[in-house]
Structure 1
C-alpha cells in the first residue's frame, strides 16, 4: 500500500513539473494519498480493498476532524473536502488499474455519497441576488472614498477591485492573487483578463464595464509605482497572499447594510457568480469558460439553488408566452 501510494505521488509530482498539473493540485493528491494509507492501514494490500473497504475509508475521512476549522462543534470534514478526497483516491485507483497494481477498481463498488454531511457551509454557498448586490454596491462606493493618510496604506481601491473581480468573474482565489498587471489587455476596445488556471490552462475573460473602470482607477490611483509585477499588493508593496483575501471581503462586508449582509468566502463568491449567471439564462458553455472548467458537468458543483427560482421560471415559460404582435 505504501509503495503504491509513493509511486503514485511521484507520478503526480512529475506531472506538476511538466505543467500537466498545478503544483498545488499535485500536493493535494499527495496529501490525500497519504491520508488513504493512514486510514486503510500501511500493511493493507491495495489489490485487496473492496467496495465496502472504500466505503469505510470515505466515512472515516468524513468523521476526521478538520484542523482548519475553529468553529465550535465543527469537527467533520466539509462536503467539498469529502468530494475532493473521493476524487483524489478515485484518480489513484484509476491509475492503479492502468498500471496493473489492482485487477478491479473498488471505487466502482463504493456507495458512500460525498454529501453525506448535508451540504456546504453557509459561507461557501452562493449569496442571494440582494446580498450580492449589497456587496457589489459597497465595493463600488470604495472608488469614491476620500483619500486620507499615506498613499501606500490606502487599500480602498484595491479592496473594491478584489470584491468586484471575485463577484463578477468568479476566479479561484489562487488565480486572483497570481494575477499580474500584464495579464490585463485591451482588444477592440474590450478589456480582458488572461487568467492562468489549473493544469497550465489559460482563459481570456472580458471584464464587465464597471469592473474595467475599477481596474483602471486602481492602476492609476491605488496601486502606486512599485517594481513588483503583481496586480494586487499588500500595503508593504508585496504580492497579496491567499489568506489576505478573506479579510478584504470581510472589510468590504462591513459597509453593507445589515439586512443584506452575510458572511461569504472567496469560494462562496465563485458559487455566486455561477449561480446567478446560470439563473439569468447565460449560456452554460460561456459560464464554463468564465469559471475555467474543462467539462460542463463540473458546473453542478458551483451552482446553488435560489429561493423562488422555479416559480419565476414557470411564470416566464418560453412556450407559454403570448406571441408578439406582427409589425
Structure 2
C-alpha cells in the first residue's frame, strides 16, 4: 500500500520540477550553469526514453536497466551532420559512420544524472523506493555495447595515413587564398595521431620548439600528464610531412607574428588566422581527411581512437611493450591493456607464424 503522501507525478512533471530546482542552484553558486544544463539535458533524455506520461513511481529496477541500455545504444549526437562548423578555419564535418553508441563516460554521466533525480524524488515523495537501488546493469556491460571497436584495422589506418600523405604531397589548389590553406597542417595532425598516438591535449599544446633533431633523427618532446616528458622519434614519412608544413604550411599571418602576444606564435598547429588550434578542432580535421579515404577503408574515428590504433598495431607487430609504453607516455605497463583492442584474424596469424614451428635455417 502506498503512503498517503505519495504524489504520483509523471516522468515529465518530475523532470520539469527537478530541472527548475537544479537551475535555481546556479543562482546561489551551488552549481555552475554548465553543470545544470548537463543535468537538464540528461533528464530530458530520460523523459524521451521512459515516456513523458509514465508515472515515475511505476518505474522499477528492470525499467532503469532498460533505460541505461537504451541510452548506451543511442547515436552520439555530438558528431551529427548538423553540428556547427568549427570556428577559425579548423573546418567541420562528421565522418561516415559517425553517430555510434554513447561512450562509457557519457553513460556514466547519464547514470549519475538520473540517480540524482531519483534521489530527489524519494525525498520529495514522488517514489516509494529509489529504483536505482535495484538496477543491475554494470558499467562494463554498458560500455561493451559500443557498436564499433575504437582502434582502426590495419587497412582502415593505412587508408587514413595514405590519404593524409597524398594530401600533403598534392599540389596546392589554384582557388582560394594561400594563407587560408590547411592541407599540410591537417596531414601533420592525422599522421602524428595515427603513428605516435599522443593525447589530443598533448598535440594541441605542442610548440615548434618541442621538435628537435639528434644524429639525423627528429624527435618530439611531448609534455604529458603529471609534468612528465618523453622524447619520441618521428617515422621518416611523418618527419618529411612535418618539415614541409614548417616550411610551407604555417600561414603568413602566424609567421609574421600575428597572435604572438598571446603566445600562439610558438604553437605548432595554427588556424589560418594564426591562433593555436583547440582540442575541439582536431576531430573536424580528422573527419575532413577521412573524406579522402576510399569508402571501403573508411571508418569514423576519434583522436583517442587513433591513440588506441597506435597501441594496438605496435603491440600486434610484437614491438617491445616497454617501448610502446614510452611512446604513449604511460607510467605503468599494466595501463597498456586498456589501449589494446582485438584485431580480426590476429590469432590465426599468430598460430601460422608460431616461433616453435618455424623451419630451422640451413647450416
Q: Name the TM-score, length of structure 2 as normaliser.
A: 0.62
Instruction: Name the counterpart of 2:280.
Output: 243
Q: Contact conserved, 1:169 with 1:291, CA < 8 A, in 2?
A: yes
- Deviation of residue 255 (structure 1)? 0.6
Q: Contact conserved, 1:78 with 1:120, CA < 8 A, in 2?
A: no
Instruction: Name the counterpart of 2:237.
Output: 210
Q: Does 1:130 align with 2:155?
A: yes
Name the CA shift for 1:284/1:263 in 2 (closer, same or farther; >3 Å). same
Q: Does 1:265 align with 2:302?
A: yes
What is the distance in 1 between the residues matched to 2:149 and 2:184?
Answer: 25
- Deviation of residue 69 (structure 1)? 3.6
> Which segments of 5 or more consecutive residues in structure 2 lack a partner in the other structure?
1-34, 40-64, 81-98, 111-135, 258-264
Instruction: Name the counterpart of 1:105.
Output: none
Q: Does 1:70 align with 2:70?
A: no
Instruction: Name the counterpart of 1:286.
Output: 323
Instruction: Name the counterpart of 1:196.
Output: 223
Q: Contact conserved, 1:78 with 1:117, CA < 8 A, in 2?
A: no
- The structure 1 residue matched to 2:140, chosen from 82, 107, 115, is 115
Instruction: Name the counterpart of 1:169.
Output: 196
What is the distance in 2 between the residues matched to 1:220 and 1:265?
Answer: 28
Q: Does 1:313 align with 2:350?
A: yes
Name the CA shift for 1:120/1:129 in 2 (closer, same or farther; >3 Å). farther
Q: Which moved more, 1:233-242 or 1:143-152?
A: 143-152
- Deviation of residue 75 (structure 1)? 11
DSSP 3-state at the match of 2:296: helix
- Deviation of residue 229 (structure 1)? 0.4
What is the distance in 2 between the residues matched to 1:265 and 1:307?
Answer: 20
Q: Contact conserved, 2:153 with 2:343, CA < 8 A, in 1?
A: yes
- The structure 1 residue matched to 2:166, chosen from 131, 134, 141, is 141
Q: Does 1:159 align with 2:186?
A: yes
- Deviation of residue 161 (structure 1)? 0.7
DSSP 3-state at the match of 2:357: coil
Instruction: Name the counterpart of 2:246.
Output: 219
Size of the aligned set, in residue pairs, is 252
- Deviation of residue 114 (structure 1)? 3.4
DSSP 3-state at the match of 2:221: strand
> Which segments of 5 or more consecutive residues in structure 1 lack a partner in the other structure?
1-30, 36-58, 86-110
Q: Contact conserved, 2:69 with 2:142, CA < 8 A, in 1?
A: no
DSSP 3-state at the match of 1:186: strand
Q: Contact conserved, 1:62 with 1:76, CA < 8 A, in 2?
A: no
Q: Name the TM-score, length of structure 1 as normaliser.
A: 0.68
RMSD of aligned residue pairs (Cα, Å): 3.4
- Deviation of residue 215 (structure 1)? 0.6
- The structure 2 residue matched to 1:252, chosen from 275, 286, 289, is 289
- Deviation of residue 152 (structure 1)? 1.5
What is the distance in 2 between the residues matched to 1:204 and 1:191?
Answer: 10
What is the distance in 2 between the residues matched to 1:282 and 1:84?
Answer: 36
- Deviation of residue 64 (structure 1)? 11
What is the distance in 2 between the residues matched to 1:309 and 1:83?
Answer: 32
Which string of whole-angstrom CA distances, capped at 9 and with x for unpartnered residues, describes residues 146-170 of structure 1? 2233222010000111100000000
Instruction: Name the counterpart of 2:90.
Output: none
